[in-house]
Amino acid sequence: MTLRRRLVLSIVALVVAVSAVIGAGSIIALASIQTGTIDSQLSKATDRASTKFGEGQQNPNGQRPNDDALQPLGQAAGTLTAYYFSGGGAGGIVLTDNSSRLQLTTTQLDRLGNVKVGVDPATMDLGGSLGRYRVAAVQVDNPVLGNAVLVVGLPMSPVYESVRSLLLVVIIVVAAALVAASVVAAVVVRRSLRPLERVAETASTVARMPLERSDALQDVRVPDTDPRTEVGRVGSAFNRMLGHIAGAMQARERSEQKVRQFVADASHELRTPLASVRGYAELTRRMGADLPKDVVYAMSRIESESKRMTSMVEDLLLLARLDEGREIQFDDVDLTGLVLDAVNDAHAASPDHPIEVDVPSTPVTVVGDAARLHQVIVNLVTNARTHTPDGTRITVGLAPSASGTGVDLTVRDTGQGIDPEFLPKLFERFARADSSRSRTAGSTGLGLAIVDAVVQAHGGSVDVTSEPGDTVFTVHLPSERPATEAASAAAGGASAAAAAPAASSASASDDWSATPVPSATD
């Protein structure tokens, strides 16, 4: 249950409880007051009845008092008078609204005969049309008829009618208070919680933001940071936390920028000496007729490793340029032609791997950089054929994406699969998992990092699923060119996610837990 709902329900419950207590107290007080009034009236009626009864009047037709003796002047309508002689004999009447007398039944007289003399008035249910009465008994000496107990009573119906009327009023008032309290509480609580909702909305917005850049953080508005209020203290603390996070992110951005700049500068500067080493090694090897065989072999190894190092430097330089949002030239690209060219090259390089092509009969065109997209296809195919045994079937396919917003390029192989624990860091730079696939060639560990960076620079995404006998890399490319900002952010995000050389994206060769998959450049 939300805080707003709990507060509203609590306020409404409190109002209802208070109203109910006040109503119940009012009803009890009214009943008590009116009962006291009845008792006072009963005392006076008893005095009048006992005085009249004590005058000794007798009914001319028998040994009992006449009606005037039982109901003297001044008695209110509904007054009950009953007598009980010590020697036997009883009777009683009730004065009706039209001043006539209603004789009490034997059952009613029996009930009234149980009233004790000299005790406080009591309430008794006489049944029939009389209902409940407030009664009291006194001892009276009639000079004609002798000693008797006189019971006088007044009806309780006025008290009950007043209580019922007040109860109805209380119910109506409580219902009105319930409705009013619900409306007022909802408005007041909503208005009171509005600052907290704004703080929560800001927190949700920040939580949804990609936090690659510190400028993406959004502070809580100043009115919601008043330290004199609880919500203000929360907003102020949230802003301080965002400030610390922004500072940490800025420090990280500066550190990553320095590392990227270092990698770019180092890669650029290493190209010239590596070219010189390679050239001198090749020259020395070609003059090998005058050199010992071991020196010629050493020169060939130096030349081979300089080629490998040059390839790594070129990959690092490419990643550094992609990190800066450069190196992508957007134009219409025939993706079908790129797939066919890459597969033909792979056939020539690895004839022991059967490679199939599954593309539509009509050319598939996207907007992107032909050279970089070709490199993506080559890297994925090379990874598959390099890190699977001979005879492993590889299938390269093109198809419209399921969402209908682009094209899906898939590279599937039937090899040993990738270790599930290694999948999350498959696209990190220099990540290696050499234990599960036989390693037939070295790699720089940058192939899949380049794939990921190039695809993200095109506004797309790359995913992988793997199990023994079925490993699928899926590259989703949008049909249209991404906005400049989106392309730059994607390239930057790819580089940041790939991180610096020490902890960044890995090539397929080094990421697969089945023998690392080298990049195409590898």
- pLDDT tens digit at each of 522 positions of the chain: 777 788 888 888 888 888 889 989 999 999 999 999 999 999 998 888 888 877 766 666 656 677 777 778 788 888 998 888 876 778 888 888 877 888 888 888 888 888 888 888 999 888 888 889 999 998 888 777 678 888 999 999 889 899 999 999 989 988 888 888 888 888 888 887 777 777 777 777 776 776 666 555 666 566 666 677 777 777 778 777 877 777 777 787 777 777 777 777 777 677 778 788 878 777 777 776 677 777 778 888 888 888 778 877 777 777 777 776 666 788 888 888 888 888 888 888 878 888 888 888 888 888 888 888 888 888 888 888 887 888 888 899 888 887 777 888 889 888 888 888 878 877 877 766 554 444 444 556 677 888 888 888 888 888 888 888 888 999 998 877 765 444 444 444 444 333 333 333 333 333 333 333 333 333
pTM for the whole structure? 0.47
Fold of 231-323: Helix Hairpins (1.10.287)
Helix (H, G, I), strand (E, B) or coil at 355: strand
CA 462 to chain centre: 30
C-alpha–C-alpha distance, residues 24 and 31, integer Å: 11
- Show the tokens assigned to 387: 């890190």
Does 331-511 match 231-323 at the fold level?
Answer: no
Helix, strand, coil fractions of the chain, as percent rounded to 5 = 55, 15, 30
Biggest CA–CA distance in the chain, Å, is: 171
The domain ranges of the chain are 3-161, 231-323, 331-511
Distant-in-sequence, close-in-space partners of 122: CB < 8 Å, separation ≥ 6: 115, 134, 135, 136
C-alpha–C-alpha distance, residues 448 and 511, integer Å: 8
Query: Which CATH superfamily hosts domain 331-511?
Result: Histidine kinase-like ATPase, C-terminal domain (3.30.565.10)
The answer to whether 510 touches 387, Cβ cutoff 8 Å, is no
C-alpha–C-alpha distance, residues 477 and 326, integer Å: 18
